[in-house]
Structure 1
Amino acid sequence: MTSPPSPAAGPHDDPRADLRWGTTGALLADAARRLGPAEAIVDGDLRLGYAGLDAEVTAAARAFLAAGLRKGDRVAVWAPNSARWVIAALGLQRAGGVLVPLNTRFQGAEAAYVLGKSRARVLCTVSGFLGRDYPADLSAAAGGPGTGRPYEGLPHLETVVGMAGPAGEGVTPWEDFRARGESAPLADAERRAAEVGPDDLSDMLFTSGTTGRPKGAMCTHGQTLRAYGVWSTVVGLRQGDRYLIVNPFFHGFGYKAGWLASLLVGATILPQRTLDVPEVLDVVRRERVTVLPGTPTLYQTMLEHPRFTADGVATLRLAVTGAANVPPALLYRIREELGFEHIVTGYGLTESCAIVSMCRYDDPLETVASTAGRPLPGLEVVAVDPKGDPVPAGTEGEILVRGYTVMKGYFDEGAETAATIDAEGRLHTGDIGVIDAAGRIRITDRIKDMYIVGGFNAYPAEIENLLGRHPAVAQAAVVGVPDARMGEVGAAFVVPRRGERIDEAELIAWCRTRMANYKVPRQVHVVAELPVNAAGKVLKNVLRERLATSPPPARD
């Protein structure tokens, strides 16, 4: 397959300028014509060639049309990685819909908030994954189970499709949903696909920030395809690669740098539902996997597993890591014992199509260990002081990004958008970093206090808001602390309400029923008051210093 065209040099170019396809639907249709029977996706016993995947996506698009989907309508997918996830996403996008991925670790109330905020009309989900029944969880949080109106708290949600597992109240099985698509003429599906263009929204990934309320970052087909065409070239992804995707599809790493990038170059997608290391090792050996991105935790666990053998991973070629600082010693061990030819890392955020900079596939390990690489070609990235003026090379400043990857804004959040993207089109990332003379970026701190738990972004403001709902909590402050296995975990400092007593273990257990597990603080410290400055802002640096000088409490 011909490599994607090189990006233009200027940071403000039309994001469609380099496009070969324009939309994800056109990308797949072209790949089906060129690659035909070549394996596009392997999911257990299911093996689909590019032509077969294209046919399934067309059937899904017709099903969405039959369900009344209009161009621009939002469709949520709340499910683990699978071939059907990819088919649903591409089908709704071909029908003009906007993909809204939901974190599989969300509790019902968290999912209900995103569904309500996005005004999603269709939800594709599952039951029976890791003992969870997602539709039932959602109904308990936003509806009336057993009343015939299981999702009455979400007035825009018209259709819930069960992609796997038993279909309960208010859920249409995927097979029935797909069959109903036969009532939508093929010509209508082709007409709708032709109406979708590079400037139309392809997805809305939700992120949190200083307000603690998730916000939908809007990105288009054109900018996403351009960004990951460039990304694929930079990291060395190529036609014929066999890409085992353990990163969740609800995240930009698993979606855009995962299955979408695979389609861009003609690679084979191998979805992995859970981080089951023995199964990962088996799939790598059986399917002759060549590309295996993941967090440092994954690679370290693989190396330590008793079923690990060098022969079993002999086909591995490319590792893309990130989500935490990677110790140099671990990188050398990954290369030598897992046998990767190339290891790269990078930096990104949801508001920038999940990508800003990447190491190149031929960068030395010293560069990979100490930096997040250089900006993608065509992006303008600078570090600035508090006044907004650029700082000299090697000096810390806030990282600003301008160019084709920057989101169109937050959905229905004008003030938040204006506070994040300035009048000159520069995205204020909230991250502090250093850009050296060669243009390589090193992130040193986060203005927004975000920390990363095993590859998942955790936002203290959101967790603090949830902790504040506990009847015994008057105030809460959350910081990230280093953790040998997860990279970072949360530590909560809580002030009890007058006359109340807080039991640390009980509060952690309470959190587990109300928030995704990566958000749950692993430590709870009950304090009489929180340290604040003259303006009343909590001094989180003081809290971190306390943790650094005192032993942590016993882990549950």
Structure 2
Amino acid sequence: MSTTINNVSQLLQINSNKLSKREVIYDGYRRITYKELDEESSILAFNLIEMGVKKGDRIAICLPNWHEFVVISFAITKVGAVIVPLNINSKTELHYYLTNAEIKVAFIAKEFEKNNLWDNFHKYKQNNTLIKYLISVRFENKDSISYKELLNRKHSNEILLPKVCYNDDCVIMYTSGSTGLPKGVILTHGNLIHMCEVSIGLLDLTPEDTVLCPLPGYHIFGLHQCILVPIAAGAKIVLMEKYKPENVFQMIEKEVVTVHHAVPTMFILEINNSTLKDYNLDSLRIGITAGSKIPSNLICNIRKMLGFEVLSSYGMTETSTCLAQVRLNDSDEVKFNTMGKPVPGVRFRIIDINTRLDLGLGEIGEILVKSPGIMKGYLKMPNQTITMFTDDGWYITGDIGQIDEGGNIRITGRKKDLIIRGGYNINPTEIEDQFYTHNDILEVAVIGIDDIVLGEITCAAIRLKKGVYGKEIEFKNFIKDRLAEYKIPDKIVFLTNLPKTAVGKINKIELKNQLNNQLFKEIL
């Protein structure tokens, strides 16, 4: 992108002029061109202004991966308002999100997977005067304005769009930690634009690419890598309302998808799906995986069974996704064991967890970063924001890792995930990596369980492949020659499913809550 871009809506406008008739979105419901996306988002923007929406107002989107999600997002950026994408599975949390963000307008689906969104939003609006309008998408209700009606409204020709600048707020994305209330991460237009430029270069994206979006738009991986980046590159997006491996294969074959991003759990499900052999996936060339470390055998299986190169990427909501990424021409040693080098504009430091002093190459400590993608802060949480930065402005990731002699970033774990068993520090990722070399294991998560003697013990929760059965002693014997004795899990449990976050990552917080009481009682 050689042209100077000042706000996210210009990513679309530039390509609307150059690629007006080219298809930009297919969601299984409608095909839409760059020109149509630009025009419809402008109509929506003008009508939002007539409804009283002003620059800086916060607008919620609670929709699946529909084309309307993208139209609405660009309309909001044109108004200079702030996109607040909300998890469509939200229930009781909605009250907090809507109140904390002071939502003025909400675009909503009627329901999703038996979650009655209309009822939840309508009840909130009846008791809160701040939210002015509910806009119903793909349904109508007498107490809402329909999205279709809003697109067909005539607006005054005298309305002018406000000037939206690089450092203005663009998105507030809620992220949950292990304790406390969800935090609203404020990302600016500049944060997202810079990271779009970086990602286009790293993946060599062009208008000839078609990018699959199996990740939800209310997650930073879905919104940024699967929606904004392709549009900035002039590429096409294939939106998936709900993730299912067979639907992934169908869309790849039908739409000739070239780029497939996903979290490792999704790729595991795909290579183990019995229908994979029935589809032609030869169009795939590249993809990013993020959210958790990807085992080396999974990278090999993706190459062999899905036929493309997947690149590990390291980042988080607070950094507008990517901080480091494996490059296509990196060696397998780098691809299998690291997150690659820092992306353009990003700097890393490794410090000692206790002394906070800088460490050298190869030494393991806490990871600090500086990046143009770093968030503006947490919404209405100045104290929590301050704790995430050093006095000299470095963002504290909370991750543990090292920088090797080649400049590649190796992530060894999360500081908060560290298990302290009888005074010994145990890194769950090290144990999980060994288990993933076992052919019968589909997924595994290692967590710490409360123990009255040792403080914590290690527990491995394993999901076996379909039709496979195992005993605890078999897997302890498998692991015992691979790790020091104190790292061998004290307990191994077999589960039919591991709890997941909205984006498909294993939810260790929920897993720990699920198992803690059960196993603690057994130990007593």
Pick from 103, 110, 118 the counterpart of residue 135 of structure 1.
118
Q: Which residue number corresponds to residue 88 of structure 1?
A: 72
Q: Quickly say closer, same or farther: Cα 1:444–1:230, change in 2 above 3 A.
A: same
Residue 272 (structure 2) pairs with residue 328 (structure 1)? no
Please identify, of 89-98 and 379-388, the stretch whose mean Cα deviation from structure 2 is larger.
379-388
Task: Answer yes or no: is the 8 Å Cα contact 2:23–2:32 preserved in 1.
Answer: yes
Pick from 28, 31, 42 the counterpart of residue 58 of structure 1.
42
Alignment of 1:31-42 (within 5 A): 31-42=15-26
Deviations 1:266-288 (A, max 9, x none): 11011101112221111111111
Residue 406 (structure 2) pairs with residue 406 (structure 1)? no
Q: Distance in 1 between matches of 2:20 and 2:33?
A: 6
Instruction: Letter of the 1:355 partner, please give it.
Output: C
Pick from 302, 327, 350 the counterpart of residue 360 of structure 1.
327
Residue 514 (structure 2) pairs with residue 523 (structure 1)? yes
Residue 399 (structure 2) pairs with residue 431 (structure 1)? yes
Q: Which residue number corresponds to residue 227 of structure 1?
A: 195
Task: Answer yes or no: is the 8 Å Cα contact 1:22–1:221 preserved in 2.
Answer: yes
- The number of aligned residues is 451
Q: Which residue number corresponds to residue 533 of structure 1?
A: none
Please identify, of 328-337 and 300-309, the stretch whose mean Cα deviation from structure 2 is larger.
300-309
Q: Quickly say closer, same or farther: Cα 1:309–1:419, change in 2 above 3 A.
A: same
Deviations 1:288-344 (A, max 9, x none): 11111112222232222232137511111112112222121121111122111x320
Deviations 1:426-469 (A, max 9, x none): 111111111112221122121234999xxxxx9x9xxxxxxxxx
Alignment of 1:115-134 (within 5 A): 115-134=98-117
Q: Quickly say closer, same or farther: Cα 1:186–1:225, change in 2 above 3 A.
A: farther
Task: Answer yes or no: is the 8 Å Cα contact 1:63–1:179 preserved in 2.
Answer: no
Q: Which residue number corresponds to residue 255 of structure 2?
A: 287
CA RMSD of aligned residues (A): 3.1
Q: Quickly say closer, same or farther: Cα 1:349–1:481, change in 2 above 3 A.
A: farther
Deviations 1:45-96 (A, max 9, x none): 4221111111111112122212211101111111111110000111011111
Deviations 1:378-430 (A, max 9, x none): 11111111333211111111111113111111111111111112332211111
Q: Which residue number corresponds to residue 15 of structure 1?
A: none
Deviations 1:330-362 (A, max 9, x none): 21111122111x320111111111221111122
Residue 146 (structure 2) pairs with residue 173 (structure 1)? yes
Deviations 1:15-50 (A, max 9, x none): xxxx72211112211111111111111122422111
Q: Distance in 2 between matches of 1:343 and 1:267?
A: 19
Please identify, of 81-90 and 62-71, the stretch whose mean Cα deviation from structure 2 is larger.
62-71
Pick from 131, 145, 156 the counterpart of residue 157 of structure 1.
131
Residue 238 (structure 2) pairs with residue 255 (structure 1)? no
* SS of aligned partner of 1:105: coil
Task: Answer yes or no: is the 8 Å Cα contact 2:27–2:65 preserved in 1.
Answer: no
Instruction: Letter of the 1:118 partner, please give it.
Output: A
Q: CA deviation at 1:187?
A: 4.6
* SS of aligned partner of 1:269: strand
Q: Distance in 1 between matches of 2:315 and 2:13?
A: 29
Q: Distance in 2 between matches of 1:365 and 1:101?
A: 37
Task: Answer yes or no: is the 8 Å Cα contact 2:111–2:118 preserved in 1.
Answer: no
Q: Which residue number corresponds to residue 340 of structure 2?
A: 373
Q: Which residue number corresponds to residue 265 of structure 2?
A: 297
Deviations 1:126-153 (A, max 9, x none): 01322322121344xxx3xxxxxx5244
Q: Quickly say closer, same or farther: Cα 1:478–1:285, change in 2 above 3 A.
A: farther
* SS of aligned partner of 1:127: coil
Q: Distance in 2 between matches of 1:187 and 1:66?
A: 11
Q: Distance in 2 between matches of 1:275 and 1:478?
A: 35
Please list every run of 5 or more consecutive structure 1 residues that lacks an aligned counterpart in the other structure. 6-18, 144-149, 453-457, 461-476, 487-511, 528-542, 552-556
Deviations 1:457-493 (A, max 9, x none): x9x9xxxxxxxxxxxxxxxx9999554479xxxxxxx
Q: Distance in 2 between matches of 1:282 and 1:122?
A: 36
Task: Answer yes or no: is the 8 Å Cα contact 2:108–2:134 preserved in 1.
Answer: yes
Alignment of 1:152-551 (within 5 A): 152-164=126-138, 166-168=139-141, 170-180=143-153, 182-183=154-155, 185-189=156-160, 191-192=161-162, 195-209=163-177, 211-309=179-277, 312-340=280-308, 342-385=309-352, 386-449=354-417, 482-484=461-463, 520-521=510-511, 523-526=514-517
Q: CA deviation at 1:247?
A: 0.9
TM-score of the pair, normalised by structure 1: 0.75
Instruction: Letter of the 1:158 partner, please give it.
Output: K
Percent of residue pairs bearing the same amino acid type: 27
Task: Answer yes or no: is the 8 Å Cα contact 2:250–2:279 preserved in 1.
Answer: no
* SS of aligned partner of 2:110: strand
Deviations 1:228-263 (A, max 9, x none): 211221133222111110011111111011110001
Task: Answer yes or no: is the 8 Å Cα contact 1:105–1:517 preserved in 2.
Answer: no
Q: Distance in 2 between matches of 1:423 and 1:71?
A: 32
Deviations 1:512-548 (A, max 9, x none): 9xxx996744733437xxxxxxxxxxxxxxx9xx89x
Q: Quickly say closer, same or farther: Cα 1:38–1:174, change in 2 above 3 A.
A: same
Task: Answer yes or no: is the 8 Å Cα contact 2:349–2:369 preserved in 1.
Answer: yes
Instruction: Letter of the 1:120 partner, please give it.
Output: I
Instruction: Letter of the 1:171 partner, please give it.
Output: S
Q: Quickly say closer, same or farther: Cα 1:434–1:310, change in 2 above 3 A.
A: farther
Q: State the structure with bigger RCO (CA 8 A, min sep 6), 1 or 2.
A: 1
Instruction: Letter of the 1:524 partner, please give it.
Output: L
Please list every run of 5 or more consecutive structure 2 residues that lacks an aligned counterpart in the other structure. 419-427, 430-444, 448-455, 466-500
Q: Distance in 2 between matches of 1:311 and 1:66?
A: 49
Task: Answer yes or no: is the 8 Å Cα contact 1:201–1:221 preserved in 2.
Answer: yes
Residue 33 (structure 2) pairs with residue 49 (structure 1)? yes
Instruction: Letter of the 1:353 partner, please give it.
Output: S
Instruction: Letter of the 2:131 partner, please give it.
Output: L
Q: Distance in 1 between matches of 2:396 and 2:262?
A: 27
Q: CA deviation at 1:169?
A: 6.3
* SS of aligned partner of 1:128: coil
Task: Answer yes or no: is the 8 Å Cα contact 2:89–2:112 preserved in 1.
Answer: no
Q: Distance in 2 between matches of 1:122 and 1:299?
A: 36
Q: Which residue number corresponds to residue 436 of structure 2?
A: none
Instruction: Letter of the 2:11 partner, please give it.
Output: L
Q: Distance in 2 between matches of 1:365 and 1:212?
A: 40
Task: Answer yes or no: is the 8 Å Cα contact 2:57–2:81 preserved in 1.
Answer: yes
Q: Quickly say closer, same or farther: Cα 1:328–1:199, change in 2 above 3 A.
A: same
